[in-house]
Amino acid sequence: MTDKKTPLLDELEKGKWPSFVTEMKRAAVKSEAAGELLQVLERSYRERRGHWKHGGIVGVRGYGGGVIGRYVDEPETYPNVAEFHTVRINQPSGFFYNTKTLRTICDIWAKYGSGLTNMHGSTGDVILLGCKTEDIQTIFDEYSEAGFDLGGSGSCLRTTNCCVGPGRCEYACYDTLEACYNITNEFMDELHRPMWPYKSKIKFSGCANDCTGAIARADISVIGTWRDSLIIDQAAVKEYAANQFDIQGQVCDKCPTSCLKFNSEAQELTVNADDCTRCMHCINVMPKAIQAGKEKGASILVGGKSTIVQSAFMSSVIVPFMKMDAENDYEEFKDLVRRIWEWWDENGKSRERLGELIYRVGMGRFLREADIPPVPQMVFRPRANPYVFWPQDELDRSGTALDGSKL
Amino acid sequence: MAKGPADPAIKAQILEYLAKVQKAKSRDVAVAIGAKKTDVDNAVKELTAEDLVEYLYITTTYICLKGKVQTPNDEK
């Protein structure tokens, strides 16, 4: 391990939380690259500027993503991190591993890389930090032999991600694990061969609790929901009431559409299913009494992203309900995704995410050209919102303008 | 991306075009050679597997002839 001082990094080891600095120091006992990485980071904190360059070509044959080139800007000073590339490995659906698998991942990485990992990156991949260009193909070959594949990077489909789904969660409205696995395999070319204006992400959440954070981060979000009514167990409702749970205050008053009514005398809870937005709040606070309906599937949303060309965007609903059945091989979803990508690829500017393109040209044009029918669920208050997709030629034919005047 | 084997004529046109430039977006290549972008993407996929073309990431992804563009530290 390096004996050079790192006073600023040492500050990050104080307090009750685990520290990445501590882990890097542990890695530095075995890895000179990890030791030099500490020095580069300490210097960056001291000088308040980064010392890394990224990009260029560091890949494996036939792949355009999965390895991100990193170079220190003073290779003579830091020869062990002159090349310090990041490798992304496609994680298993829902992050389910056994210990043998984890050992396999780490053993290969300890052989060729710095030993530093990030489990998991924000897109979900296993992130392996720090290897040399000359080892990349060997690393890929060994992981490939062990049953792993690279994840996405660059202007491609990024590694798809899902919540734990029915593997551990009773709220899951569809099998997120199977959907993620199936759809990842379907779009292997899109994942490994960057061809688009910029990145595209798909995230699968089993319910509206959205444990993958899809609505704020994914270009295409698949969020579990149900089409029929909530199922309410009145005996369990009475039990909550008997235990002094404030059903009116904690459930009904916090329902965003006020669709739940609690009769305190009869101790019964009823729902107006037409007004319910399937937000999951009532289920979260009264899980023993309230369940999702029986007719389950997913809502499809598009346009979520963090800040790049435009500010951060939340997603918009484009399909309120879609069955997500493995028996149909998710054909309806795959067909929709292909249409969306084709439209974005044709119209998007460089580094423009799907949501930014929709923002620039308008949701109406997107829906028309991607052949997606507009529905009231796309807007927050359809009865109050002048939400009309009448093209000008239709208005001209009608002879009446939107304000009622004659054209 | 188009499925099935790529058109050899498009592959040849891509190689010819990339020989004239340092790097290019596949969309620009498609416009330059008058081919559909999906066909260009499919051809590029084969050309990368044949080690004739490689992907290059500089804030967005480009393609270039293998070895034509240097890595950041080689440029010094």
- Minimum-distance CB partner of A64 among B25, B55, B70: B55
Q: What is the mean pLDDT of chain B?
A: 88
The answer, for A56 touching chain B at a CB cutoff of 8 Å, is yes
Cβ A97 vs Cβ A103: under 8 Å: no
pLDDT(A385) > 90:
no
pLDDT at A204: 98
Beta carbons of A56 and B48 less than 8 Å apart? no
Backbone phi, then psi, for A118, in 5-degree steps?
Answer: -130, 105
How many C-beta atoms lie closer than 10 Å to residue A56's C-beta? 22
Chain A 171-190, residues with CB within 8 Å of chain B CB atoms: 189-190
Quick: pLDDT tens for A118-129.
999 888 999 999
Cβ contacts (< 8 Å) between A65 and chain B: which residues?
A: 55, 61
How far, in Å, are A33, A120, A153 from residue A125 at the CA level?
22, 6, 10
Residue written as token pair 């193909």: A137
**Least confident window among A64-68, A355-359, A387-391:** A387-391
Q: Kindly report, residue by residue over A258-300, the tens digit of the pLDDT.
A: 999 999 999 999 999 999 999 999 999 999 999 999 999 999 9
Amino acid letter for position A41? L
Q: Of the candidates B26, B61, B72, which has its C-beta nearest A71's C-beta?
A: B72
**pLDDT higher at A395 or A121:** A121
| pTM for the structure as a whole | 0.90
Q: Can you give the pLDDT at residue A262?
A: 97
Check: CB of residue A312 under 8 Å from CB of residue A232: no
Q: Could you say which residues of chain B have pLDDT below 50?
A: 76
Contact status of A57 with chain B (Cβ, < 8 Å): yes
The three-state secondary structure class of A199 is coil
Q: Kindly identify which residue of chain B lies nearest to residue A338, measuring between CA atoms.
A: B1
Q: b/e per residue, B15-49, with b = 16+ CB within 10 A?
A: eebbeeeebbbbbbbbebbebebbbbbbbbbbbbe
Rounded to whole angstroms, the Cα distance separating A269 from A288 reads 13
The interface residues of chain A toward chain B in range 78-117, judged by CB-CB distance below 8 A, are 82-83
At residue A390, does pLDDT exceed 80?
no
- Chain A residue numbers with beta carbons less than 8 Å from the beta carbon of B31 are none
Q: What's the DSSP call for residue B57?
A: E
Q: What angle (nearest 5°) sits at the alpha carbon of residue A305, between those of residues A303 and A308?
A: 120
Nearest to A220 by CA among A160, A282, A284: A160
Using CB atoms, pick whichever of B51, B69, B72 lies closest to residue A61. Answer: B51
Return the pLDDT at B76: 45
Residue A389 has pLDDT above 70, yes or no: no
Report the alpha-carbon distance of residue A142 to residue A59 in Å, rounded: 15
Mean pLDDT confidence for A206-215: 97
A56/B57 CB distance under 8 A: yes
Domains by residue range for chain B, with CATH: 8-67 (1.10.10.10)
* Omega before A85 within 30 of 0, i.e. cis: no
CA nearest to B44 within chain A: A193
Residue A364 banded pLDDT, cuts 50, 70, 90: confident
Contact A56 B56 (CB under 8 A): yes
**CA–CA distance, A64 with A58 (Å, rounded to integer):** 9
State whether residue A59 sits within 8 Å of chain B by CB. Answer: yes
Name every chain B residue with its beta carbon within 8 A of the beta carbon of A195: 1, 26, 37, 41, 44, 61
Residue A405, Cβ density class (10 Å: 0-12 exposed, 13-18 middle, ≥19 buried): exposed
The amino acid at residue A346 is E
Give burial (CB, 10 Å; 0-12/13-18/19+) of A309: middle
Q: What is the dihedral of CA A279, A237, A163, A99, to 10 degrees?
A: 170
Chain B contacts of A63, Cβ < 8 Å? 48, 55
Q: pLDDT for A179-199, tens place per residue?
A: 999 999 999 999 999 889 999
Q: In the predicted model, what is the mean pLDDT of residues A30-57?
A: 90
Between A61 and A407, whose confidence is greater?
A: A61
Over residues A308-341, the pLDDT tens digits come to 788 899 999 999 999 998 989 999 999 999 999 9
Do the Cβ atoms of A204 and A214 come closer than 8 Å?
yes
Domains present along chain A, CATH in parentheses: 7-145 (3.30.70.2500), 161-227+297-373 (3.30.413.10), 231-291 (3.30.70.20)
Choose among A57, A61, A193: nearest Cβ to B41: A193
**Taking 60 as the threshold, does the pLDDT of residue A2 lie above it?**
no
Candidates B73, B75, B76: best to mutate against A (most CBs of A within 10 A) is B73
What is the largest distance, in Å, between two alpha-carbon atoms of chain A? 83
Residue B54: list chain A partners with CB under 8 A: 57, 59, 64
**Cβ contact (<8 Å) for B69 and A351?**
no
Nearest to A55 among B37, B44, B72 (CB): B72
- Rounded to a whole number of angstroms, the distance from the CA of B29 to the nearest CA of chain A is 12
Give the rounded distance of the alpha carbon of B71 from its chain centre: 17
Cross-strand pairs, A319? A300
